[in-house]
Every structure is written in structure tokens, then in C-alpha cells.
Chain A
Amino acid sequence: DVKVTQSSRYLVKRTGEKVFLECVQDMDHENMFWYRQDPGLGLRLIYFSYDVKMKEKGDIPEGYSVSREKKERFSLILESASTNQTSMYLCASSQDSDIRDNEQFFGPGTRLTVL
């Protein structure tokens, strides 16, 4: 079974703090993604990565950065957390292959609260 794990289920931080959200997948997937999920807005893509050290902006990258130093790990960084970044953050991974194998597998999510 593909497993995508996220370092924390719940996180509480103060405004202005630097926040790291970690995601690890164990299936040697090339693609990794970070989404945020908000009520009424669904999932919105923040950043994604096709390979080690590669990153692409998604639909809402402002206020975030990412790091992919190893294939299995994709980190989301909030340089200076703000209250409007309070949200559920979901990580996903997928193979870079034929469309039939291109299912995205999701982690359990990290619920971040910024006070």
C-alpha cells in the first residue's frame, strides 16, 4: 500500500513564526503536491514538484515556499505565519507515468491554527 505521512495532525503556531510541514511518501513517486483545504473552497494547489530540487507554483503560492531535497520528502514552509493561513494542509504524491497510473495518494492532513 502506498503510504503518505505528514509530520503532525494538529499544529498551533503564533503569528510571525516560521512553520515547517513535512510530508514523506514511501512509493518512490516522482510527483508530490501540497494543497490547502478550506470550507466552501475545496482543495487549492499551493506548490508541486516533479522531481528532486524541482518545484512549480500552484494556484496560491503566496506566503509559502517548498523544499524537495530527497525524492521521498516534500516540505512546505510558511516563512512568517499569518492568521489567514489557518487551514487544513494536505500532501499528495503520484507516479510520473502513463495516465492510467496517475492516481494521487493523499496524506491524513495537518490542521494548522495560527493565533
Chain B
Amino acid sequence: AQSVTQLDSQVPVFEEAPVELRCNYSSSVSVYLFWYVQYPNQGLQLLLKYLSGSTLVESINGFEAEFNKSQTSFHLRKPSVHISDTAEYFCALLDGNTDKLIFGTGTRLQVFP
């Protein structure tokens, strides 16, 4: 069965510090991975995705994630966070046969001044 695990429910950091949000997946078929972000009182927005090709993918606001097949991971990183990055982040795996997304339980990133 396919699944997604986000090991950290909350990650508190100070502004300008680096951050890593961890995501591990389990899948026996082709792997398509996504990171979504949910700002307070809003719906989910796509942050970045891995479908194929380069294992390092980037977002427009400085986040990056690396697909690591041997470690079945897709960790999200940012070298220097801002207060405005405070949000909940969801890792998700797409079942290519059904178009269903399988979500992790989410990581709440809280950035302090």
C-alpha cells in the first residue's frame, strides 16, 4: 500500500535559520511527489512537485526538495526562513492510476522573530 509519513508535527525555528521538513513515502509503483502549503485560514497551494527528471526541484519562494529513491524520501528545505513562511506543510504522493493524492499528516512550521 502507498503511504506518506511526515515525522515532525511541529517545527519551530527562528527567522533566517535553515529548516528541513521531513517526508518519507512508501510506493511500489511510479512515484510522483508533491509539497503543498496551507497558510492560516486558507486552502492548500502547490509549493513544488517531482514527477521525473532532475531529483532536485525548487519553488519560487526559495524552498527546494530532493527526491531520494534509495531513502524513499522527499524532504523540503529552505536555507533561510521568513516570518511569512509560517504555515502548515503537507507532503503528498499521487497514485498515477487513480489521480488520488495520499497526504501525510502535515508539519506546522512556526517561524519566530
Contacts and interface: CB of A to CB of B under 8 A. Distances in A.
Interface of A: 4, 31, 33, 35, 40-45, 48, 50, 58, 90, 92, 94, 96, 99-100, 102-109
A96 B96 CA distance: 11
A103 B104 contact: no
Given A90-B44, A99-B94, A41 B32 contact: no
Contacts of B42: 108-109
Contacts of B51: 99-100
**Ranked 5 nearest A-B pairs via Cβ:** A106-B43, A42-B105, A106-B44, A43-B103, A42-B103
Given A99-B51, A107-B43, A109-B43, A40 B9 contact: yes
Contacts of A90: 43-44
Interface size class of B (residues with CB under 8 A): 20 to 34
Contacts of B46: 103-105
14 contacts: A31-B99, A33-B101, A41-B105, A42-B105, A43-B101, A99-B32, A99-B94, A103-B34, A103-B46, A104-B101, A106-B36, A106-B44, A108-B42, A109-B42
Nearest to B30: A99
Q: Which residue of A4, A42, A100 has the most chain B CB atoms within 10 A of its CB atom?
A: A42
A105 B34 CA distance: 12
B43 A42 contact: no
A42 B106 contact: yes
Nearest to A35: B103
B25 interface: no
Contacts of A99: 32, 51, 94, 96
A35 B36 CA distance: 14
Nearest to B49: A103
B69 interface: no
Contact of B100 (A4, A45, A108): A45
B100 A58 contact: yes
A100 B9 CA distance: 29
Q: Which residue of A31, A102, A107, A108 has the most chain B CB atoms within 10 A of its CB atom?
A: A102
Given A43-B44, A108-B42, 6 more contacts: A42-B6, A43-B103, A94-B99, A99-B51, A106-B36, A109-B42
